[in-house]
Structures are given as C-alpha cells and as structure tokens.
Structure 1
Amino acid sequence: MLRHHHTFWLVATAFISLVLPSVARFKKQHESSGEVVANADPVWNIRHVLPPLDLQNNTVTDVKVNVGDVAYLPCRFPKISTTHQLEVSWIRRSDWHILTTGTYSYTTDVRFNVLHKEGSDDWTLQLKYVDTRDNGTYECQSYTGTGVVSKYVNLHVSKPRATIHGPTELHVQEGETVTLVCVIQQSKPPFVFWYNGIDLLNNEDERSRFYVDTEVEGGKTRSSLTIKEARYTDSGNYSCLPPHVDSASVMVYVTKGDEAAAVYRRGASSRPSLKPSIASFIFLTFFVLNTVNFSILWGR
C-alpha cells in the first residue's frame, strides 16, 4: 500500500514540475501578446508614407490611389498639454458632412474609419474600396483652446485602363494559334477575366483550347489569352476585364482558306470595267458630230 502511495506522489510531483511551468509560460506569453495587440500602432504599416509632424495651419497633402484600393488620409496634431483633451474631426468638403469626431463615426458609410492610438499624434482617416465619386478635398480639424487648426487632404482617385496589344481587328486563318496580350498599367488586379462576347473563357478544362496566363511585372499586370487551333466559330469580340479597370477589346476574324480566296475573287470582280467608259466616249462623240451637222443644216 505504501509502495502505491509513494509511486502516486512521485508521478504527481513530476506532473506538477513539468506542467505548471509550461502553463505559466503560456499565460505569460498570452498576456504579453494581448499587451502587444492592445498597444499596437494602427498605422505602423503606412507610417513611412505619412507626412512629418507639422504645427502649421492650412497645410495641403495630395493622396493618389486607384479605384478599389484603400486610401489613407494623413493628419497629425500634437497635444497642447496633458490636461487638454484634443478633439479632431474629419469633414468632407464637397458636402460639408462631418465624417468622424475623435474615434466616433458620424456617417453611415462604413468604408470610413479613423486610425488612432490613444495618446498618439496620428488621426489617419482610412477609406476602403475607394471610387471616383470619392474624389475631392477632406479637412481634418483640431479644436484648440484658442481656435481651430485645419489640415487638408486632396484625394485623387483614378481608374486604370487596360490595353490589348496590336490592331483593333485581327484576321487569322483557321487552325492557327492566336495570342492576345492585355496590359494594365499602374495596377495589380488579382485576376483578369477574358470574354468572347458574353461567354467567359477559362482554362480549367485540360481539353480546352483557351489558355489564360496572368502575371505581375513591376507596377503592371500582363494577361495573355491563347487560342489553340482557331476555328471559324471562334470569331467574335474578345474582351479583357480586370476588376476596377476599364476593359479593352479586339475583334478576331477566323477565316477558312477557301473563304479567303472567295473574298479575294469577289474583291477582284468588283473592280470597275473599262467598257462602260469606252461606250460613253463613243456615244458622246456621236452626239457631238450630229449636233454639228444639225447646226450646219439649220444655218443653211
């Protein structure tokens, strides 16, 4: 009996010595990670693009983004004193709508959010999924004991355009391999859709003759559509549609060999003949001679 008790206490002691320190370490790590999250800088990943702390009034900053991106409108105000509660508001100048005051939002547009850490100088306005209608001037106001200090941000939202290399009309022979290349400058869309008319093209089926390849090269995206063994029924309008980008299109005409020859023969037969011109000349000459003879007879 004593032997069993002795064994039990040995196991219990080993368990406590091994498990409890691990639990303590886990708790400490959890608390420290929670502290890190609580004290995290909300603008740490964009701090390198924020302007330096400026005490001047009526400063102007330009921010340029593409449609669909996230815009960060910077605003920094230093605390006047430890006893003064700084109150900062963001105002959209196009309609004078107050978007936020402090960290509270006064708009139903959930795309707006203020990034501010308690005690910091940053009052960055975050705007998600920007659109061209968001273009304009935004004012960041700080209410001080002596008045109002303002900083302005001009938001410029642009929509990139896609272009397809080559002519707007492409003529190929049946059986050839066709490659269309679409380039999107100053934008990196995650995917690009290709359409033939209203039909979406994809290369999920290994037997498909259509193959799409999209890659990012520096500040642009390049997407290519390859049509293997082109058929007469592949003729149509091919469009490159990246998200948040103006699309581009090209007309592709696939012709058979005998059809191309027929088109050539029709073109050759439509050339004007010289016979009508000769007949017209003979008729005019005959008319002039008869007119002269009539005049001579009338004169007599």
Structure 2
Amino acid sequence: MLVRAWQGQTNLLVAVVVLLSLLLDNSSARDRKQGQPTGDALVTEDPVWDIRHILPELNMENNTVTDVKVNVGDVAYLPCRFPQLSTLHQVSWIRRWDWHILTTGIYTYTSDMRFNVLHTEGSDDWTLQLKYVETRDNGTYECQMYTGTGVLSQFVNLHVNTPRAAVLGPQELHVQEGDTITLICVIQQSKPPFVFWYHGENMVNYDGNRHRLNVITKVEGTRTHSRLTITDARHTDSGNYSCIPPNVEPAYVLVFVTERGDTVAAIHSRGHTSVAADSSSAVRLVATLCLGCVFSFAHFLPVR
C-alpha cells in the first residue's frame, strides 16, 4: 500500500516537472519570437541586420529613387521598406526594362538563381539580393506594394561598375639581359581575391620552371597592388605580359630584353612600333586627301 502511494506521488511529481518544462519552453520561444534577448544570445527580426551598415539611405515615401553602386562580381543589395504597410499587403520586385517580375512576397519568379528577397515575417524590409552582379544587370528595379486603393512604388537604380587594371610605367619596357624586370599592376576600387599574370598565353604565377619569377599581391585600402618580378632577365623573357584579375578589365605591357650594350636592337624594336603607327596615319591621310579630291572634282562637273 505504501509502495503504491509512493509511486503515485512520484508520477505526480514527474507530471509537474514536465508541465513546468513545457511552460518554460513556450515562454522562451515567445521571447525569441518577440526579438527579446535570451541568455547571452540576441535574436533579431531584422533580416538584413548584418548588412544594414552598407545599405544606402532609404527615403521611404512613394515613388522615391535610390542609387546603388556595385562592382562586377560582387553582391548587390537593393533596399525597399514600407513601414506599417508591407505586413498587410503583397510586395513585388520588378525589373523595369523588360517588366519581368522577379519576386512576389517571399517567392522568386525567375529562373535566374542569383535573385533572392531578404524578408522575415513581420518585418518591413523587402531587400532584393543579387549575387555575382554582371554588367547586364545595370538598370532600374521597382519595388511595388499593392494596396486596396492603388500601388506604392520605390525605385532603385543599380549602377554596375567594371574596375580596370593598369600597369605602372610605359606600355613598352626595354631592359638588358641580366637586369631585373619589375611590373606593378594596380587595381582601383576593387579587391580581387587573386591576380593572374600571363606571359603571352602562359600563366606564370605558378610556373615552377621559372625560379627567377616572383608574384606578390597586396590590398591597401581601396587599391590592390600586384608586383611581378623577374631576376636575371633573358631574351626569352621578352614578349607581352598581362595582368588579369577576376571581374576586372586587364592591363598589358610589352617587354623587350636585349643583349647588354646592344642599343641598336632596342632602337629598332622601339622604331618598329613607331613606323607601324606612322604608316597607319599616313594611309589615313592619303585616303582623306583622295576623298577630298573626288568631292572637289565632282563639284566642278557640269550639271546636265
């Protein structure tokens, strides 16, 4: 009898513990849903809290225009907010130049998987995310919200920039055998993860057969510097060198390596390019003069 009473009290105690545990779990879940801190963690309803600092200032009135600038290959965030309204109505993103509906609500209506809308239930944010931006993405995007009385719109002009690389110094570099060749490539307003150097059609960054070659790439602020160094220059090092970072317009430089003391070869190679340019200019000049003669002669012909 005592054993049964003890078992009954034990079962009652277990039930109370389970009930208290469920109540605590529900309270904790409710706190998380409301965005209140639980323990050391802070849960937020802001879907773009980690990129809020890079989003442009947004005028949240109707028919406003926001400009977003991004480099090719980067991620673009197109902001859109309708405070106290977007939780009640449907919000859509439209590409204006072809009127293609990209997203409606949280659903994507394009086969281009680079598009995604950042939104959390109950939030006013409807930020459009575009990954791996291309030059063809340049243009105007419209964020629309349908209400019972009409349509509210916010426009975003996406400006896609293609950074350019530049090799410091002249476009033609003349050195003598045994010298050190130093080529410095600078990329403005871009931080590419790597920079490839080519000699003709061959990439030289990881060429184990050329122990005289070294490539060092550094990022300083908004600029990236890549230095290609070739020690003990040889005639076979002559040719076209290309600095090719990803998603950046490449840069080129022509290197001539001559025998030490052979100034005639250097002058000849430099003069060859000049003669070609002068010949092209002369051809254009002769063609222009001939056209002038034809029109002048036609002017004096009698009219029948």
User: Considering the TM-score relative to the shorter chain, is it more than 0.5?
Assistant: yes
SS in structure 2 opposite 1:245? Answer: coil
* Offset from partner CA, 1:133-189 (integer Å, 9 cap, x none): 000000000111211000000000010000000000000000101100000000000
The worse-fitting range, judged by mean Cα deviation, of 54-63 and 222-231 is: 54-63
Match of 2:85 among 80, 83, 86: 80
Using structure 2 for the length normalisation, give the TM-score: 0.71
For residue 208 of structure 1, report the CA deviation from its aligned partner: 1.1
User: Could you say which residue in structure 2 is the equivalent of 1:164?
Assistant: 167
Which of these two proteins has the greater Rg computed from alpha carbons? 1
**Structure 2 residue 66 is matched with structure 1 residue 61:** yes
SS in structure 2 opposite 1:99? Answer: strand
User: Could you say which residue in structure 2 is the equivalent of 1:99?
Assistant: 102
Between the aligned partners of 2:266 and 2:80, the Cα distance in structure 1 is 67
Is the contact made by 1:100 and 1:107 (CA closer than 8 Å) also made in structure 2? Answer: yes
SS in structure 1 opposite 2:136? Answer: helix
Q: Which amino acid aligns with 1:146?
A: T
Between the aligned partners of 1:100 and 1:86, the Cα distance in structure 2 is 14
Q: Where do residues 227-246 of structure 1 align in structure 2 (5 Å cutoff)? A: 227-246=230-249
Between the aligned partners of 2:59 and 2:237, the Cα distance in structure 1 is 61
| Distance change (3 Å), C-alpha of 1:129 and 1:51 | closer
For residue 51 of structure 1, report the CA deviation from its aligned partner: 5.1
Between the aligned partners of 1:221 and 1:73, the Cα distance in structure 2 is 27
Structure 1 segments (4+ residues) deviating >4 Å: 34-40, 51-55, 261-265
For residue 263 of structure 1, report the CA deviation from its aligned partner: 6.7
- How many aligned residue pairs are there? 235
Is the contact made by 1:115 and 1:124 (CA closer than 8 Å) also made in structure 2? Answer: yes
Unpaired segments of 5 or more residues in structure 1? 1-23, 266-300
User: Could you say which residue in structure 2 is the equivalent of 1:153?
Assistant: 156
Is the contact made by 1:92 and 1:139 (CA closer than 8 Å) also made in structure 2? Answer: yes
User: Could you say which residue in structure 2 is the equivalent of 1:71?
Assistant: 76
Is the contact made by 1:203 and 1:212 (CA closer than 8 Å) also made in structure 2? Answer: no
Q: Which amino acid aligns with 2:188?
A: Q
| Distance change (3 Å), C-alpha of 1:141 and 1:264 | closer
| Distance change (3 Å), C-alpha of 1:91 and 1:261 | closer
Is the contact made by 1:53 and 1:77 (CA closer than 8 Å) also made in structure 2? Answer: no
Q: Where do residues 31-50 of structure 1 align in structure 2 (5 Å cutoff)? A: 41-50=46-55
Is the contact made by 1:162 and 1:182 (CA closer than 8 Å) also made in structure 2? Answer: yes
Unpaired segments of 5 or more residues in structure 2? 1-20, 34-40, 269-304
Between the aligned partners of 1:138 and 1:264, the Cα distance in structure 2 is 56
SS in structure 2 opposite 1:133? Answer: helix
Match of 2:201 among 175, 181, 198: 198
For residue 40 of structure 1, report the CA deviation from its aligned partner: 5.8
Between the aligned partners of 1:79 and 1:112, the Cα distance in structure 2 is 25
| Distance change (3 Å), C-alpha of 1:120 and 1:40 | closer
Q: Which amino acid aligns with 1:59?
A: T
User: Could you say which residue in structure 2 is the equivalent of 1:210?
Assistant: 213
Cα RMSD of the aligned pairs, angstroms, is: 2.8
| Distance change (3 Å), C-alpha of 1:38 and 1:105 | farther
Between the aligned partners of 1:109 and 1:258, the Cα distance in structure 2 is 60
Between the aligned partners of 2:196 and 2:202, the Cα distance in structure 1 is 10
* Offset from partner CA, 1:164-222 (integer Å, 9 cap, x none): 00000000000101100000000000100000000100256496111000000100100
